[in-house]
Amino acid sequence: MPKSRAAIFVCWIALAAPGALVRAQSPAPSPAAALLAHDLLHQIDDAYVSVFEKVAPAVVVIEADKKPASDGQDQNFDFYFHSPESGEGNHAPAPEPSVRSEGSGFIIRPDGYIYTNYHVIEDAEKIEVRLRDNRRFVARVVGADEHTDIAVLKIDATNLPVLTLLDSDSVRVGQMCFAIGIPYNLDFSFCRGIVSGKGRGELASTPANFLYEDYIQTDAFINPGNSGGPLFDIDGRVMGMNTLINGLGRGLSFAIPSNMLSDVGGSLIATGRAPHPWLGVQVMSLRDQLDDDPSGAERYSGLESGVCIKTIEANAPAYKSDLRPKDVVTRVDGVSVLTAHDLQREILRKKVGQSVDLSVWRDGKTFDIPIVTDEMPADLTQVAEAHARAKFRPGDNGSYGLQFHPSAQTQTVRDKINAEALVIAVLPDSPAGRAGVRVGDIVTAVDQKAVTDSASCLELLAAHRGASGPMLSINRNGQKARALLDTGGSEKQ
């Protein structure tokens, strides 16, 4: 054994022998080091106090008088502050019946413009704003956008303290953040945390709403009453607006990013409304598509990721383009998209009327399709229903959840548009219901084969063969639409 290795071996034996191990003694800190550590703690302490004193004067308490719900409870409570599990500590206490609710907000212009959440002031008959110096003002709603949960209020005041918005794209996961709000009516409560994640989505969709979600996640202890308050950095710059939590005490809180606040809030101040761009398609990620329908793996062979087009709405921007059901979008203006949320985020960043280039995969070939965005329609009932990932009901007899009007009773329809397959019922848990087919639609073709009456339509549906469901051509109130009847869930953009 070489001498060097032998020496190491003997040394190891000596250390391992009984009584050979001696506890390492940390040297006592010198007075200078102790003083330095104490000074550092003072600096951290002063920094926390300083950022609170800088931000708090621009944070406001919002008191909204609303009509009481039929059950006497705040209908927004469970949605924005919910927990998916039951059990002690995992659910929000039911609020006492009351017509007055409280939330938070913050001033963004010295002449009295305030950002808050839409759900804080929704359906309010009267809104009052209280400043930290206890001054009170009656506020009016300048504009509100339920799809982003952003609202702008105005009070008649001048020379008010304001907060500035930073570029939320520059926010880093792991950086420190703070929040001020009024949890449980405890005014101007201050809490600290870190940024736990960015770009969070698919958190808050409900049957009655369709939200653009691109949240900043934090472990700062946000509670009911913090809604509409700021999430900010160590310099007091707003990175987001607190909007919801996922279960009390779970360390899962979410904020609307400041860039979305700036875009939507600026539009609300300028025009009172916030138009959103859309393509008019129902989509789902390729991964989810294959999970729901593994038999489609051969059709998408060679494609690793993307967003599948399920349905194209009537007269929507996508319908006016060369986009087709079964296409897979892989990029938007050169940016890769892997999920429905990715596609939504990229389209939301565009302006209404702006042209976007979609990189599309179809039958093994990739090409670009330009689409000019349009403004999202106000009625999104069908969009919200598309979020319900219902499964196909067994025993549907090959109709895919559709029921048609008897041919003999559609003479008026036939005379007007030369088609008789009038939809009179759609099962919500069926491929047709999930694809967005509506009562009143008229099916004019199945798999590009013309429909002459209800019976022929059912025959074509029953005769369909393939890994995916049939593709319908539809006349909807005089406008053409397409729908792909597959068994998987979908989301709309």
- Secondary structure of 423-450 as H, E, C letters: EEEECCCCHHHHHCCCCCCEEEEECCEE
Asked if residue 224 and residue 115 are part of one domain, the reply reads yes
pLDDT at 487: 54
Q: Which of 347, 375, 403 is the last residue of a domain?
A: 375
Same domain for 302 and 249: no
Q: Whole-angstrom Cα distance, residue 10 to residue 20?
A: 13
One domain, residues 331 and 386: no
Angle at 79 (CA atoms; ends 232, 226), nearest 5 degrees: 30
In a domain, 251, yes or no: yes
> Is 325 part of any domain?
yes
Phi, psi (rounded to 5 degrees) for 409: -105, 15
Decide if 408 is inside a domain: yes
Contact indicator for 170, 95 with CB cutoff of 8 Å = no
Residue 15 counted as domain residue: no
Joined tokens for residue 486:
């597959």
Q: How far apart are CA 217 and CA 21, in angstroms?
A: 47
241 and 319, same domain (yes or no): no
pLDDT along the chain (493 residues), means of 10: 42 41 62 80 90 95 79 44 42 54 92 94 92 95 92 96 95 94 80 90 50 83 82 96 67 87 94 90 81 72 84 82 89 91 86 93 90 81 37 48 66 48 80 83 87 83 74 84 67 44
Rounded CA separation 224/221 (Å): 10
Q: Which residues are known catalytic residues? A: 119, 149, 227
Kind and range of the H or E run holding 259: helix 258-271
With beta carbons less than 8 A apart as the criterion, state whether 120 and 226 touch.
no
What Cα–Cα distance (Å) separates residue 353 from each residue in 276, 357, 374? 10, 13, 5
Q: What is the pLDDT of residues 99-108, one digit of tens each?
A: 677 889 999 9
Pair (228, 305) in one structural domain: no
Domain end among 337, 360, 375: 375
Q: Characterise 395 by phi-psi region: left (phi > 0), alpha (psi -120 to 50), beta (else).
A: left
pTM (two decimals): 0.65
Q: Are residues 183 and 61 part of one domain?
A: yes
In this structure, is residue 9 part of a structural domain? no
CA dihedral 211, 214, 219, 221 (to 10 degrees): -40
Instruction: With beta carbons less than 8 A apart as the criterion, state whether 41 and 33 touch.
Output: no
Look at residue 290 in the predicted model and tell me its pLDDT.
75
Find out whether 358 and 368 touch, Cβ atoms under 8 Å: yes
The token duo for 464 is 């369909």
**Together in a domain, 63 and 187:** yes
134-168 burial, b at 16+ Cβ within 10 Å, e below that, comes to eeebebebbbbbbbbbbbbbbbeeeebbbbebbeb
Q: Are residues 404 and 369 in the same domain?
A: no
Instruction: Tell me the C-alpha distance between 26 and 160, whole Å.
Output: 54
**Length of the chain as a residue count:** 493
The rounded percent of the chain whose pLDDT value lies above 90 is 31
CB 186 within 8 A of CB 221: no
Q: Which residues are within 8 A (CB) of 265 and not within 5 positions of it... i.e. 6 or more apart?
A: 108, 115, 150, 152
- Cα distances from 180 to residues 79, 137, 148, 203, 452, in angstroms, run 21, 20, 21, 23, 64
- The tokens describing 171, both together, are 């926010």
In a domain, 2, yes or no: no
DSSP string, 106-140: EEEETTTEEEEEHHHHTTEEEEEEE-TT--EEEEE
- 11 found inside a domain: no
The terminus-to-terminus CA distance of the chain in angstroms comes to 72
Q: Are residues 268 and 286 in the same domain?
A: no
Beta bridge partners of 148: none
Domain that holds residue 322: 277-375
Paired with 284 in beta bridges are 308
- How big is the CA angle at 399 (ends 397 and 405), to the nearest 5 degrees? 120
Residues 334 and 217 in one domain: no
pLDDT value for 245: 64
Answer whether 150's CB lies under 8 Å from 268's CB.
Answer: yes
The answer on 482 and 371 residing in a single domain is: no
DSSP string, 28-94: PPPHHHHHHHHHHHHHHHHHHHHHHHHHGGGEEEEEEEEPPPTTSS-TTHHHHEE-SS-STTSSPPP
Q: How many domains does the chain have?
A: 3
Answer with the one of 344, 375, 406 that is the final residue of a domain.
Answer: 375
Residue at token pair 């709000």: 181
Q: Is residue 56 part of a domain?
A: yes
Report the CATH number that the domain containing residue 329 is assigned in CATH.
2.30.42.10
365 lies in the same domain as 419: no
